[in-house]
């Protein structure tokens, strides 16, 4: 290289950097990256958080550039941090807040799953959202969530429940504590006010959304709740009752997987055409439920049969396991909000009961080899109720829990969202879109339907309809199932909150990984369901109407 060019090279580099830094795109990216880096020193005092903590701090703030250098879509600051407990023996709350460079003025909080223990995927789509729609973060939402106040390798671990502060954080406190941190970060990063705050999630995340709106109605504007564990304690007691039904008397009530599959196959064949369409979906769930007794009688062992893993049901399997699975249970004492029962499931209507692959219960029970709900019930009773005292699940009586009764009732008011009067949330303009699947083996579809009916009875149908939409979706399980409805649910919620336009029988697409993927159906407001018109393509929503009979 000639001497003159070598001498000019540093100048040329400097000029090129100066030129680039003065271009609008470079300046904005550089400014956003700088503002992101500044958050590494962010701390929040305890008195700035609504509920008791020892303060919060950022542990890392990382600028994530957009793949498209021509605009800022997808560009954000990933902020990780921790909120310290009051009790030094309690775990910290770990959280993530994503701050988009182009912010739309709205926040979206993500809920977790199971017993939590990890930060939810806050950069991904909403629960049951469409893959083809930009993620909320790409749309300009500040997205955030937390691990609910403890760290665990999987969502089945409830050992944190022995600590009071960790248990309260899981029950409800982490929701508001994390919101307060997110709002403080937003205030530091942007020079404009927050317009809306939404919550979205499924299962535990669905319960958290309802909890957020019920406990802090002024702090939230809209909730997307999918198959929520609203009656959390009632569900756990149901799991304990199921364990007794299956494993008592040397596991006389256990139903082998092959026979469970036979029940599902026969139920589909029996009920599929009740909605006018033989399409593998049981839309007329109530009609199918009425013929359950006939299906049980058909599968019952006849005289001389001792029971076979593939073709018949014994008296113990029918009178104990299927009874609690299909009919639920009642308690002689009330839980929070007067709830004293837990309805059953569609155990004879096409779902595969999660009764475990092994006839003997392990100690402690393990979901998969053992009934899924027996594992979740044991974790709850051992850690939240007995607090480390020895507990034998097969000696526990849900109707007469003895010394544990008061603790169980107390917990039902801490963990769950069973309230029926939503006036405070409704009067300030809050909205809720609630989906529950008929094929859900983890949360009773009839339990959530019963809670919705109680809300309508308490508030009146007109007032309930002004803020709440409840959909009982045929074929939807606990995520997945034979029909997994995907739709632009966040836009629907935002449009209702912002413009007063509620969703009216929106069209949803089947997102299952099966040969029916892509078919569409209307979301029908409960108690209506999709009924085939008698003509037209069964894979298209236009061929169905929302019916009640």
Residues 6+ apart with CB under 8 A from 334: 340, 409
At residue 313, does pLDDT exceed 50?
Answer: yes
CB 349 within 8 A of CB 426: no
Position 374 in a domain = yes
At residue 170, the pLDDT reads 98
Lowest mean pLDDT among 9-23, 68-82, 148-162: 9-23
Predicted confidence (pLDDT) per residue in 72-103, tens digit:
678 999 999 999 999 999 999 999 999 999 99
96 forms beta bridges with 80, 145
Percent of the chain with pLDDT over 70: 92
CB 460 within 8 A of CB 360: no
Q: What is the mean pLDDT of residues 232-245?
A: 98
Range of the structural domain that residue 532 is part of? 423-547
Q: What global pTM score does this model have?
A: 0.93
Q: What is the mean pLDDT of residues 133-140?
A: 97
At residue 547, does pLDDT exceed 70?
Answer: yes
At residue 99, the pLDDT reads 98
- Residue 541 and residue 473 in one domain: yes
Lowest mean pLDDT among 109-113, 280-284, 308-312, 428-432: 308-312
At residue 548, the pLDDT reads 92
- Residue 378 and residue 250 in one domain: yes
At residue 350, the pLDDT reads 61
Lowest mean pLDDT among 6-15, 246-255, 265-274, 521-530: 6-15
Backbone dihedral region for residue 228 (phi beyond 0: left; psi -120 to 50: alpha; all else: beta): beta
At residue 69, the pLDDT reads 56
- What is the SS3 assignment for 77? strand
Cα–Cα distance for residue pair 529/515, rounded to 1 Å: 23
Predicted confidence (pLDDT) per residue in 484-533, tens digit:
999 999 999 999 999 999 999 999 999 999 999 999 999 999 999 999 99
Cα–Cα distance for residue pair 115/100, rounded to 1 Å: 29
At residue 213, does pLDDT exceed 60?
Answer: yes
- Residue 11 and residue 101 in one domain: yes
Domain count, the chain: 3
203 has catalytic annotation: yes
Lowest mean pLDDT among 22-31, 303-312, 466-475: 22-31
Position 44 in a domain = yes
- What is the SS3 assignment for 312? strand
Q: What is the mean pLDDT of residues 307-315?
A: 76
Residue at a domain's end among 361, 378, 407: 407
| Choice among 203, 270, 283, 444 that is catalytic | 203
Position 211 in a domain = no
At residue 237, does pLDDT exceed 50?
Answer: yes
Cα–Cα distance for residue pair 287/276, rounded to 1 Å: 12
| Choice among 279, 478, 484, 543 that is catalytic | 478
At residue 351, the pLDDT reads 67
- Residue 376 and residue 429 in one domain: no
- Residue 348 and residue 258 in one domain: yes
| Choice among 279, 284, 440, 510 that is catalytic | 440
CB 369 within 8 A of CB 358: yes
- What is the SS3 assignment for 414? helix
Residue at a domain's end among 374, 407, 440: 407
Averaged pLDDT score across all residues of the chain: 92
- Residue 453 and residue 485 in one domain: yes
- Residue 363 and residue 428 in one domain: no
- Residue 318 and residue 253 in one domain: yes
Residue at a domain's end among 140, 170, 194: 194
Percent of the chain with pLDDT over 90: 84
pLDDT band for 308, please (50, 70, 90 cuts).
low
- Residue 22 and residue 166 in one domain: yes
pLDDT band for 30, please (50, 70, 90 cuts).
confident
Lowest mean pLDDT among 180-194, 242-256, 290-304, 352-366: 290-304
Cα–Cα distance for residue pair 335/236, rounded to 1 Å: 12
Residues 6+ apart with CB under 8 A from 144: 95, 96, 97, 98, 107, 108, 109, 110, 122, 178, 182
Position 308 in a domain = yes
Predicted confidence (pLDDT) per residue in 433-447, tens digit:
999 999 999 999 999
- What is the SS3 assignment for 250? helix
**Measured in whole angstroms, how far is the alpha carbon of residue 33 from the centre of its chain?**
33
pLDDT band for 324, please (50, 70, 90 cuts).
very high
Predicted confidence (pLDDT) per residue in 345-383, tens digit:
886 766 678 899 999 999 999 999 999 999 999 999 999
- Residue 249 and residue 391 in one domain: yes
- Residue 465 and residue 518 in one domain: yes
440 has catalytic annotation: yes
539 has catalytic annotation: no
Selected residue with higher pLDDT from 5 and 340: 340
Kind plus residue range of the DSSP H or E element containing 260: helix 257-271
At residue 72, the pLDDT reads 64
At residue 74, the pLDDT reads 85
- Residue 66 and residue 165 in one domain: yes
pLDDT band for 28, please (50, 70, 90 cuts).
low
List the one residue out of 354, 352, 328, 353 whose CA is nearest residue 341.
Answer: 328
Q: What is the mean pLDDT of residues 122-132?
A: 97
At residue 7, the pLDDT reads 36
Residues 6+ apart with CB under 8 A from 62: 36, 77, 78, 79
Position 471 in a domain = yes
């Amino acid at each position: 290289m000639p001497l003159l060019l070598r001498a000019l090279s540093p100048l040329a580099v400097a000029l090129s950097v100066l030129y680039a830094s003065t271009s609008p795109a470079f300046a904005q990216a550089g400014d956003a990256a700088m503002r992101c880096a500044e958050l590494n020193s962010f701390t929040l005092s305890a008195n700035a958080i609504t509920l008791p903590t020892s303060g919060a701090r950022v542990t890392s703030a990382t600028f994530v550039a957009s793949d498209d250098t021509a605009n800022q879509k997808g560009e954000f600051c990933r902020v990780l941090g921790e909120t310290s407990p009051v009790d030094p023996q309690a775990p910290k709350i770990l959280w993530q807040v994503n701050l988009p460079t182009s912010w739309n003025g709205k926040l979206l909080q993500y809920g977790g799953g199971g017993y939590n223990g990890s930060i939810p995927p806050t950069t991904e789509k909403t629960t049951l959202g469409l893959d083809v729609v930009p993620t909320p973060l790409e749309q300009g939402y500040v997205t955030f969530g937390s691990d609910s106040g403890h760290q665990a390798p999987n969502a089945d671990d409830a050992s944190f429940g022995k600590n009071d502060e960790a248990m309260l954080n899981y029950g409800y406190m982490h929701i508001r504590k994390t919101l307060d941190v997110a709002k403080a970060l937003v205030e530091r990063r942007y020079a404009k006010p927050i317009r809306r705050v939404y919550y979205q999630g499924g299962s535990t995340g669905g319960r958290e959304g309802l909890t957020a709106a019920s406990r802090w109605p002024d702090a939230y504007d809209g909730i997307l709740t999918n198959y929520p564990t609203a009656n959390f304690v009632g569900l756990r007691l149901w799991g304990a009752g199921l364990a007794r039904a299956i494993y008592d008397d040397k596991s006389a009530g256990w139903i082998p997987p092959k026979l469970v599959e036979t029940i599902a196959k026969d139920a589909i064949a029996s009920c599929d055409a009740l909605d006018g369409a033989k399409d593998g979906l049981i839309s007329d769930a109530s009609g199918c439920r009425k013929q359950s007794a006939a299906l049980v009688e058909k599968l019952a062992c006849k005289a001389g049969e001792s029971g076979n893993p593939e073709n018949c049901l014994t008296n113990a399997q029918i009178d104990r396991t299927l009874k609690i699975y299909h009919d639920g249970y009642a308690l002689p004492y009330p839980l929070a909000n007067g709830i004293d029962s837990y309805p059953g499931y569609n155990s004879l209507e096409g779902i595969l009961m999660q009764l475990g692959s092994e006839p003997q219960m392990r100690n402690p029970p393990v979901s998969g080899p053992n009934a899924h709900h027996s594992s979740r019930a044991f974790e709850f009773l051992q850690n939240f109720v007995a607090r480390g005292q020895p507990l034998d699940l097969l000696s526990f009586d849900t109707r007469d829990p003895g010394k544990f009764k008061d603790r169980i009732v107390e917990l039902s008011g801490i963990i769950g969202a069973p309230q029926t009067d939503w006036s405070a949330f409704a009067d300030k303009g809050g909205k809720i879109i609630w989906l529950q699947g008929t094929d859900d083996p983890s949360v009773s579809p009839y339990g959530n339907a019963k809670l919705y009916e109680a809300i309508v009875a308490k508030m009146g149908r007109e007032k309930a309809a002004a803020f709440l939409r409840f959909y009982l979706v045929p074929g939807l399980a606990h995520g997945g199932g034979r029909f997994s409805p995907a739709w632009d649910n966040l836009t629907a919620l935002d449009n209702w909150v912002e413009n007063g336009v509620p969703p009216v029988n929106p069209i949803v697409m089947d997102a299952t990984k099966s040969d029916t993927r892509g078919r569409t159906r209307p979301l029908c407001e409960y108690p209506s369901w999709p009924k085939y018109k008698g003509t037209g393509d069964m894979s298209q929503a236009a061929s169905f109407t929302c019916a009640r009979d």
